[in-house]
Chain A
Amino acid sequence: MNDTACLLKLYDEKYELEDYQGGVPRWCSGCGDNAILAAVQRLCRDEALHPEKTVFVSGIGCSSRFPHYMRTYGFHGIHGRALPVAEGVRMARPDLHVFVNTGDGDCCSIGAAHWIHAVRYNMNLSVFLHDNQIYGLTKKQASPTSPRGTKSNTSPRGSWLEALNPLTVTLGVQNVSFVAQVVDWMPDVLYEVVRAAFHHKGLSFVRIIQRCPEWLPDQWEPFIKDPKRVQRLESSGHDAGNLDRAREVASKMDPIPVGILYRNENVPCYEDLRRSPKLRTPELVRTGLEAEFDKFTVWPS
């Protein structure tokens, strides 16, 4: 950025953290969602996003309360459907910043079809998967990402199935263009990855391992206590341009790989393929309509 641009930015668009703070968060104390909120508010401030030009779209779940805690536009929709709502917003409005907050049940269970196709559409959206490996809001049921053996209200003697891995699934979809993983307890890495996701042109999918002290209080303690069990991809020389490597890394959970697993800036965005550069004036519509009428008209003879 050159100096004038810098200056302009200073004068025009200076925002404080408070400018992005909406309602008082109602999450449990120690809930990882708080950390995600802090990172995202910091991002908005640092990028000086116009609050009125910014939209957070979510589904239903604890994590989907997110938009209410921002002071931007927000869309707290229905369970599982955050992605298609966000796609509609994006298709209609290339000028907005569009974020998606979704839970592991929201995205990987009820909304799974939308998730797969959203990756394929590769619309310019930053998608944050708040993966606490449990259904929080509905009070502790196993989710598709719950590790096998998770005791929950619907699996009191332990869940039966192996967990679904959101990273490998996403990396398996044609047109995937950005996949990252972070943990809520490393605020700086979280911030950096969220920022990279924001700057990516295309759908950036960030799985955020999110603590739910309410229902799974011990889930991540061993990982927090032993920093060796979290692996920074940046410092390990991981090549984020290599899809095969990304899939390999994605399939390992101990140590937890954090950082950008895969990034490809060259995947076209669906909205760019579909949106017409034509300005939709009444005149354009009239001309188009008359041309169609001509095809079907029976003229008086």
Chain B
Amino acid sequence: MNDTSLAFKNVTEIAEHIVEVISDSGEGAQRCGQSLGSIAARMGIGIWTVEIIPAEIRPPARSVAGASGNRIRLGAGRVTNGGDLTNLAVAFNEQVLLGRVRDGELAPGCTILLESLWRDHSDPTIRSSYLKTVEQLLGAGYRVIEIAMGRECAAVANAEKGKNMFALGMLCSIYSLDLKLAQEQMALTFGKKAQKVIDTNVKLLDAGYRWAEAHLDFKYRIPAERPKEAQIVVNGNTALALGVLASGMEICAMYPITPATSASHYLSDVFEKVGGVVHQAEDEIGACAFAIGASYAGKCTVTITSGPGYSLKQEAIGLAVMSEIPLVVVNVQRGGPSTGQPTKAEQGDLMSAIFGSHGDAPKVVMAASTIEDCFYSVITARRIAETFNMVVVVLTDANLATSQQPFPRPQFDPAWMAPPTDQSALPEGLKPYDWDQATGLARRFIPGQANGMHTVTGLAHDRASHVAYDPQINEEAIHYRSLKLAALQRTLKAPALFGPSKGEMLVIGWGSTKGAIEEAVEMLQGEGHKVSSMHLRFLQPLPPGIKEAMKGFRHVMTVEGNWSDRPEDELIDESNRRYSALAMLLRARYLRDIDCYSEVRGQPIKPSTICEVVRRKLAKPKKS
């Protein structure tokens, strides 16, 4: 390593870089990563940040599975997903790095800035583990730069703590970020704390910056384009919560569950300021029933949960469907089944969202595909729920929940909000389920409205909401509840094609895979492949135009984060292969031989993986 000051380093211009900061939890790596993202975003560098979260609250220190931190993809222009492999890693111990290597997250030759204090640790096992690991990493071709970060910190701030800000300083130097902006960011990050804290952190930041300037022989610049309009930088869960606020909903009923909880944490903090209530119920069934009660009484309500909680809500969701009470249910999907992988991303709940709850229980299912979409989906969902008196399920996932990506600051529109609760007298003789013949819609009755007295029931009922087991009445009611989906479907726009309308392959996706799919498609197009993609926001009902769009392509394939049987398995053939959720839906609806590629690795699907899969599929004739 070069030890002399490098006053004139070559600055390499790069289009993008993926950097991660990892440590034992509690060492502030997350804060370092988030701050890096914010500084870059303020300069106009595209970012997508992903949290690296260990499954346990306090995994043992220096453990392979304990990596906690942040991964930031920096890029020129808009960055739409977490990208492929890490190019540069900052690690506060070698063990957390091993976990990342094992997961195949580091690019070959990845640069590693490693805290070196372990080299001289008093515990000989730690010393030898450190030395062995460094050797392994070097042997594997990584570039390891050992830095006594703790010691450097102690020199400026009288404490070994604060490595994270020292690391941030180094990264600012490495990526030629504006140090003044970074210093300002300290004030934002530690704004609630004493000035002394801010000053100390600025010192650490400066020290890291100076150290890197003096000691590292590389420096990058990513072209920035100063944003022309105000941008919001939040993760998907915060965007969801902001959407709840903006939609004019008043009550959110929930029960804590990873990875949905942070949305309710944030909402709990801010909802009251605008007169809202977050009710933490005794369980998810209670939360859903509470939400239904509040919606019934005139205030469309949201309940936010994740997989296991979603399963518990199913019976109550069916009640809302049957009694035609508007309700918004957000499912921030995690790995399943059962308790599964609480902190990991998966798209495994599409089928239960559409078909869950016993009997014929038609509900609207939407999926947010970007952070921005998390915000607007809630607003749209509230509106659909109240227009059609339906349950609207909004699917996001752990990837969106914890990722940050800037989006244009929304302009508040009063039309986002629900109108005040209707308390006008109802026309005499009108029945609570006077279904419109063409659309299945009926006017919503709200307690307090004169002439509207009736008892809603989850039992089969007639137009007056009287319990009725008459075969004709039962069919009529199911018919109209189903018809509402068709009525909504007629109002939907055909999804746009990303890429030309004719080609070899159309890739179809839904939810958080959008950025990765589109990036892969661009790459493939660059290689000369005739590939386009389409991303679905509505999964139930499916929008019009899909069938026509598919006609322009020889192959159609979905890419999803859920399970599908591998065609290469000896036992698997056409007659038993279980397809991915969306593939199954599309196959059933459009009678086309739609293929799928899916993963359940708990991580976002990488653009390079999608590229590889598509290349392979296009190269090889189908297995017969």
Contacts and interface: CB of A to CB of B under 8 A. Distances in A.
Interface string B274-302: 11110101110111011111111111010
Nearest to B461: A76
A84 B41 contact: no
Interface string B227-251: 1111111100010001001101011
A96 B253 CA distance: 20
Contacts of A85: 289-290, 292-293, 296
Interface string B485-513: 00000000000000000000000000000
B289 A84 contact: yes
Contacts of B318: 78
Interface in A246-301: 274-276, 278-280, 282, 284-293, 296-301
A77 B458 contact: yes
A67 B323 CA distance: 15
Contacts of A16: none
A33 interface: no
B544 interface: no
Contacts of B232: 293, 296-298
A113 interface: yes
A117 interface: yes
Contacts of B454: 73-74
A279 B449 CA distance: 21
Contact of B275 (A88, A114, A280): A280
B233 A91 contact: no
Interface stretch (B201-209, B408-416, B519-527, B616-624): B408-416
A292 B281 contact: no
B554 interface: no
A214 B218 CA distance: 87
A299 B44 CA distance: 10
A74 B448 contact: no
A159 to B, nearest CB: 26
B450 interface: yes
A92 B327 CA distance: 14
Q: Which of the listed residues A89, A293, A296 has the most CB atoms from chain B within 10 Å of its own CB?
A: A296
B275 A75 contact: no
A91 B287 CA distance: 13
B275 A284 contact: yes
A13 B114 CA distance: 79
B447 interface: yes
B116 interface: no
Contacts of A23: 466
Interface stretch (A49-57, A205-213, A233-241): A49-57
B293 A88 contact: yes
Contacts of A68: 455, 457, 466-467
A199 interface: no
B273 A73 contact: no
B417 interface: yes
B246 A75 contact: no
Contacts of A12: none
Given A73-B447, A78-B458, A296-B232, A88 B452 contact: no
Contacts of A291: 273
B624 to A, nearest CB: 50
Contacts of B283: 113
A88 B410 contact: no
Interface in B423-461: 447-459
Contacts of B286: 81, 84, 113-114, 117
Contacts of A74: 453-456
Contact of A92 (B234, B251, B282, B414): B251
Contacts of A86: 293
B274 A280 contact: yes
A150 B456 CA distance: 34
B389 interface: no
A92 B448 contact: no
Contacts of B458: 60, 76-78
B311 to A, nearest CB: 15
B272 interface: yes
A299 to B, nearest CB: 5
Contacts of B412: 285-286, 289-290
Nearest to B300: A92
Contact of B294 (A77, A88, A95, A280): A88
Contacts of A78: 289, 315-316, 318-319, 458
A168 to B, nearest CB: 20
A141 interface: no
B270 interface: yes
Nearest to A291: B273
A88 B286 CA distance: 10
Contacts of B414: 282, 286
A290 B245 CA distance: 11
Contacts of A287: 274
Interface string B528-545: 000000000000000000
A301 B410 CA distance: 18
A298 B229 CA distance: 9
B230 A297 contact: yes
Contact of A301 (B42, B448, B459): B42
Contact of A288 (B273, B281, B298): B273
B39 to A, nearest CB: 10
A45 interface: no
Given A85-B296, A95-B448, A276-B275, 17 more contacts: A52-B450, A52-B452, A75-B293, A76-B456, A77-B458, A84-B282, A84-B285, A84-B289, A88-B294, A88-B295, A91-B277, A92-B250, A274-B279, A280-B276, A285-B246, A289-B242, A300-B227
Interface of A: 22-23, 51-53, 55-57, 60, 67-68, 70-78, 81, 84-93, 95-96, 113-114, 116-117, 274-276, 278-280, 282, 284-293, 296-301
13 contacts: A68-B457, A73-B455, A75-B293, A84-B282, A84-B285, A84-B293, A88-B290, A96-B297, A282-B414, A285-B245, A289-B245, A293-B410, A298-B42
Interface of B: 38, 41-42, 226-234, 238, 242, 245-246, 248, 250-251, 253, 270, 272-277, 279, 281-283, 285-287, 289-299, 301, 315-316, 318-319, 406, 409-410, 412, 414, 417, 447-459, 466-467
